[in-house]
Amino acid sequence: MSEEIIDPDLPIIDPHHHLWDLRPLVPAFPEPRHDFIEAIAGAAYYTFDELQQDTRGGLEGGHNIVGTVFMECGAFYDAGRDDAMKSVGEVEFVNGVTAQGASGLYGDYRPCAGIVGHADLTLGDAVKPVIEALIAAGNGRFRGIRHAAAWDADPEVLGPPFHAPEGLYLSDAFREGFAAYAGYGLTFDAWLLEPQLGDVLDLARAFPGQTIVLDHCGTPLNIACYRGKLHENFDRWRQSIHALAECPNVQVKLGGLAMAFCGLPEDGPMKGHTSEHLAGLWRPYIETCIHAFGPGRCMFESNYPVDRWGASYEVLWNAFKRLSHSHSEDERRALFAGTAAKTYGIEHVLPTS
């Protein structure tokens, strides 16, 4: 689905996308394959060239994407390192993509200007050498880690790629590692599911000095045993969002709703829904988050290529622009670039005029 770009000059920092090569893994997933696997099967290989084609970064005709933040996804791990250090390979790979974009060959577009990697915080104090190796690998671009905690009792909700234990953010081992990590002054991205939001709330209250970025509006669910229950569970989600907003160390990414998990839309991948239609589906979640957190603690995200399930890159950002039209110019600048730039320390990618 292609649309004319709305507000084509509005600067955008996309603070959440992945790079990966899942081709060796996709055939190994059992049949019938989970909706998420079907969604990524069409993007099993997603590196700089694919990212540039979606963002139109440095090219004509797209949204004004001035920079991006890479989000860990377990790709390009270094098989030659021990288990704790394998994730350093992902940051090394992405740093190369960042250098490619920084060459100036692609105009003012700065892909992966910030890099968020992964470290296993259940290592406790032993996570420190891993964090220091990640910082070194990032060559000044490393901004933080994500240690996902998505879990559900129904195995059909998440599918085979996800193996976080129940209650990860509440466990003593994780909290020990989180305390060690907090001393580095980096960001922490949290991904878990709507029924688990109390876990990240407890974490945020226990570590008020640590910046926590909640991914994907807290991931409301419309899949497996949750299918058809978005309306039923909306008030619970909204209460959790408002409680999290009371923690000044928490920010929220506005996106991820086009994932198969959220089912907004239910049919995918990329069934040609318009930005107007998607804005209508997403409005209750986006407006609740902005009202609770304020534009200075919210940032729109693509979550690409995962959100390709429900929207092309052009249509996705058009939907966000439709959802932001009631906000002031300053608020829109924050939502589309300013909050992400400040959170991930990449103000240098913003236009100077």
64-71 and 11-17 strand pairing: parallel
Q: Report the percentage of the chain scoring pLDDT > 90.
A: 84
240 found inside a domain: yes
164 found inside a domain: yes
Dihedrals phi, psi of 54, to nearest 5 degrees: -75, -50
Residue with tokens 């599911």: 193
pLDDT at 161 (0 to 100): 73
**Mean pLDDT, rounded, of the chain:** 93
pLDDT at 271 (0 to 100): 83
4 found inside a domain: no
pLDDT tens track for 278-303? 999 999 999 999 999 999 999 999 99
Give yes or no for residue 29 having a pLDDT over 80: no
272 found inside a domain: yes
**Residue 188 DSSP class:** E
Residue with tokens 């060239």: 49
* In contact, 60 and 107? CB cutoff 8 Å: no
pLDDT tens track for 208-238? 999 999 999 999 999 999 999 999 999 999 9
Mean pLDDT value of segment 1-30 = 85
* In contact, 313 and 304? CB cutoff 8 Å: yes
Give yes or no for residue 128 having a pLDDT over 70: yes
Closest CA to 326 of 270, 279, 293, 281: 279
pLDDT tens track for 299-339? 999 999 999 989 999 999 999 999 999 999 999 999 999 99
**Residue 214 DSSP class:** E
**Residue 58 DSSP class:** T
Report the SS3 class of residue 307: helix
31 found inside a domain: yes
310 found inside a domain: yes
pLDDT at 353 (0 to 100): 66
Two structure tokens written together for 207: 């570590």
Mean pLDDT value of segment 148-160 = 92
Rounded CA gap, 249 and 238, in Å? 18
Give yes or no for residue 36 having a pLDDT over 70: no
Host domain of residue 239? 11-346
Mean pLDDT value of segment 87-111 = 94
pLDDT at 215 (0 to 100): 98
6 found inside a domain: no
Closest CA to 258 of 272, 244, 249, 268: 268
Rounded CA gap, 257 and 255, in Å? 5
1 found inside a domain: no
Two structure tokens written together for 104: 């100036």
Mean pLDDT value of segment 37-64 = 84
Rounded CA gap, 269 and 73, in Å? 20
How far is CA 244 from its chain centroid?
18
* In contact, 192 and 149? CB cutoff 8 Å: yes
What total number of domains does the chain contain?
A: 1
pTM of the model: 0.96
| CATH number, position 265 | 3.20.20.140
More confident residue, 89 or 43: 89
Rounded CA gap, 214 and 192, in Å? 8
H runs (alpha helix) in the chain: 35-41, 48-55, 88-102, 128-137, 155-158, 172-182, 197-206, 230-245, 275-293, 313-323, 329-333, 339-344
**What is the widest separation between alpha-carbon atoms in the chain?**
53
Confidence of residue 37 (pLDDT cuts 50, 70, 90): low
**What letter represents residue 331's amino acid?**
E
